[in-house]
Amino acid sequence: MTVNVAIAGASGRMGRMLIDAVLQDSDCKLAAALDLPGGPFIGRDAAEMLGNATTVPISDDVAAAFGLADCMIDFTRPEGTLKHLAAAKAAGKGMIIGTTGFDAAGKEAIARAAETIPVVFAPNMAVGVNAVFRLLDVAARILASGYDIEVIEAHHRYKVDAPSGTALRMGEVVANALGRDLDSCAVYGREGVTGERPAQQIGFATVRGGDIVGDHTVLFAGLGERVEITHKASSRMPYALGALRAAKFLCGREAGLYDMQDVLGLR
């Protein structure tokens, strides 16, 4: 069965990678490509920036896109994603959301939409990262006592939210495994005389610079040893390939809120 896919943010770095991935996947078809209204790429071929050609022009007509597609893949910004989600709900079509930086209200809106349409919402679509989530759960349970936990992440200079959604999810996985509330034990920066590190704390460190696609490390620091679990992305293609797996997973799926653990059968 061919999955007809709409891509949001078609002129962006991730949008272009998603379009490239769809064009190379024999089980998927590029049905629509969206960009900001009035943008310079509206009306141009969706694959033009890849040195390729399709019969799909970049459009700003969200309703028309859902008329052609089975689902939409969105890695844009929270405000844009929520508008696309409302259109998906109106059309009864599925959404794959890789956008990060949602506040509590945004996450609640996604959960409400998933009551009527199928939604895959994950901070990171890469298969390798989702394997790391499982490894972290195991490691945290083994290293539950006597180890300080720090999450270190690095991204390119253009990323607008921090810590990354993946880093936060890593912190959540570890906190859940240890029976801790991340909101209560997380610290997102240190400066000045901070005092001795609390044993229950989970620290986050953020690096922004250059063209780093995405590096994530969770450090378990004990007395006389360190355990580090790391994932490094050298391109955005793993995120795109994971998103296409999510699109295929959604085909014929009932309404509900899913994540990549569901897509990969890791529940």
| Helices then strands, each counted (H, E), the chain | 9, 12
Q: What is the C-alpha separation between 164 and 37, in angstroms, rounded? A: 27
Q: pLDDT at position 8, please?
A: 98
Q: pLDDT at position 266, please?
A: 83
Question: Whose structure tokens read 């240890």?
Answer: 178
Mean pLDDT of 107-112: 98
Q: pLDDT at position 257, please?
A: 98
Q: What is the C-alpha separation between 9 and 173, in angstroms, rounded? A: 29
Average of per-residue pLDDT values in the chain: 96
Instruction: With CA atoms as reference, report the closest residue to 6 among 82, 61, 50, 79.
Output: 61
- How much is the pTM? 0.84
Instruction: With CA atoms as reference, report the closest residue to 68 among 45, 81, 87, 50.
Output: 87
Instruction: With CA atoms as reference, report the closest residue to 240 among 39, 20, 35.
Output: 20
Any idea where the domains of the chain sit in the sequence?
3-125+236-263, 127-233
Q: Does domain 127-233 have CATH number 1.10.600.10?
A: no
Q: What is the C-alpha separation between 175 and 187, in angstroms, rounded? A: 13
Q: Is 165 exposed, middle or buried (0-12, 13-18, 19+ CB in 10 A)?
A: middle
Q: pLDDT at position 114, please?
A: 98
Q: pLDDT at position 210, please?
A: 98
Per-residue pLDDT of 65-78, as tens digits, reads 999 999 999 999 99
At 196, the amino acid letter reads E
Alpha-carbon dihedral 122, 155, 238, 69, rounded to 10 degrees: 50
Residue 240's SS3 state is helix
Q: Does domain 3-125+236-263 have CATH number 3.40.50.720?
A: yes
Question: Whose structure tokens read 């799909």?
Answer: 56
Instruction: With CA atoms as reference, report the closest residue to 102 among 125, 116, 85.
Output: 85
155 catalytically annotated? yes
Per-residue pLDDT of 178-211, as tens digits, reads 999 999 999 999 999 999 999 999 999 999 999 9
262, 256 contact by CB (below 8 A) = no
Mean pLDDT of 168-182: 97
H or E stretch covering 165:
helix 165-178
In the 8-state DSSP scheme, what is residue 57?
B
Per-residue pLDDT of 77-92, as tens digits, reads 999 999 999 999 999 9
The catalytically annotated residue of 84, 89, 93, 155 is 155
